[in-house]
Amino acid sequence: MALEDAAKQVDTAITRDGFKGLSFENTFGGVTSFLRRTYTKDLTNVDIAVTGIPFDQAVTNRPGTRLGPRAIREASSLQSPDPAYGWGFDVLSEFAVADYGDLAFDYAHIDEFPATLEAHITSILDQDAACLTLGGDHYITFPILRAHVKKHGPLSLLQFDAHTDTWADDDMTRVDHGTMFYKAVKEGLIDPARSVQVGIRTTNEDTLGVNIIDAREVHETGPAAVVEKIKSILGDNKTYLTFDIDGLDPAFAPGTGTPVWGGLTSAQVSIILRDLAGINVIGGDVVEVSPPFDTTGATAIAGAHVAMEILNLWAFNRRG
């Protein structure tokens, strides 16, 4: 049946009737929404919306993540014909998933960007849809958290990253991708005692009380122990999951702005994310995919897989 469908399906991102179902069009052609989901600004009856934030003016090293959402969408077409491996259900057939398109903003008015992004995410949440975001640099998580906290209250943060991004900065107007979680703690957006940062391998003495599982601990104790520790910290708290692609070692994700050696492997991450099934994920993002620094496309492929895993984690507790 899939082969027959592939011969006649095209551009299901704009031709699909409804929001559910796998897509069997040729993976190398057609309009590339995320996972071939329907493009729409009307989220009526949509369970979760995917949106792109093509912003990279907050980076401290190499730019290029403004091209991340487009690259992740293209890479995700490889996953559109099949249910995600290892989950035992098909999130694309059981839930209404839509692609909300990208944030529109004036790149020359960076001072307006945080409020513009917060309003954009709020507009999704106000339509009773959850939100999965494709970045963009990691600063975007700060306005996104503000929007989620307005709806859900203070959250646990589950962060995969090479850096803690909690460097001190009391100027809330600065747009910087290394200080936003310091600000998030200071604003009371996240509960540090019930939050976890995984894969850390850069020095920042003040963790603000956030629990750290550094890259060495992951390597030495293994994914199963890491999952058990994460679950014991998060409990059933509402959790926002943010995945900086530099949490992966540069061998697996070279296309990022601030690569650091000694990182997590894609195999470790795939096991950890799938075994975290049951945590209370209310939203998430994948950030820092910078296609210009990876001619192979491997980083965008990794980003697309992580985004699919976040989608399944969100869906797991909501099935029936």
pLDDT at residue 3, rounded to an integer: 62
Looking at the chain, which runs of residues are DSSP E strands? 38-39, 48-53, 97-102, 130-135, 156-160, 196-200, 211-214, 239-244, 281-287
What tokens were used for 181? 């979680």
Question: How does pLDDT run across 249-278, given as a tens digit for each residue?
Answer: 999 999 999 999 999 999 999 999 999 999
Question: How does pLDDT run across 215-256, given as a tens digit for each residue?
Answer: 999 999 999 999 999 999 999 999 999 999 999 999 999 999
200 forms beta bridges with 214
pLDDT at residue 249, rounded to an integer: 98
Question: How does pLDDT run across 148-184, given as a tens digit for each residue?
Answer: 999 999 999 999 999 999 989 988 899 999 899 999 9
Give the pLDDT band of residue 7 (cuts 50, 70, 90): confident
pLDDT at residue 53, rounded to an integer: 98
Which residue numbers belong to the known binding site for Mn(2+)?
Answer: 138, 161, 163, 165, 244, 246
pLDDT at residue 205, rounded to an integer: 87
**Is pLDDT above 80 for 320?**
no
**What percent of the chain has pLDDT above 90?**
92
Q: What is the rounded CA–CA span in Å between residue 88 and residue 90?
A: 7
pLDDT at residue 1, rounded to an integer: 54
Eight-class DSSP state of 165: -
Which residue numbers belong to the known binding site?
Answer: 138, 161, 163, 165, 244, 246
Residue ranges of domains in the chain, CATH in brackets: 2-316 (3.40.800.10)
Of 255, 314, 264, nearest in space to 70 by CA:
255
Q: What is the rounded CA–CA span in Å between residue 297 and residue 102?
A: 21
Give the mean pLDDT of the chain.
Answer: 96
Q: Are 227 and 243 contacting, i.e. CB atoms less than 8 angstroms apart?
A: no
Parallel, antiparallel, or unpaired: how do β-strands 196-200 and 211-214 relate?
A: parallel
Of 272, 204, 271, 281, nearest in space to 237 by CA:
281
Of 130, 148, 134, nearest in space to 46 by CA:
130
Q: Are 15 and 34 contacting, i.e. CB atoms less than 8 angstroms apart?
A: no
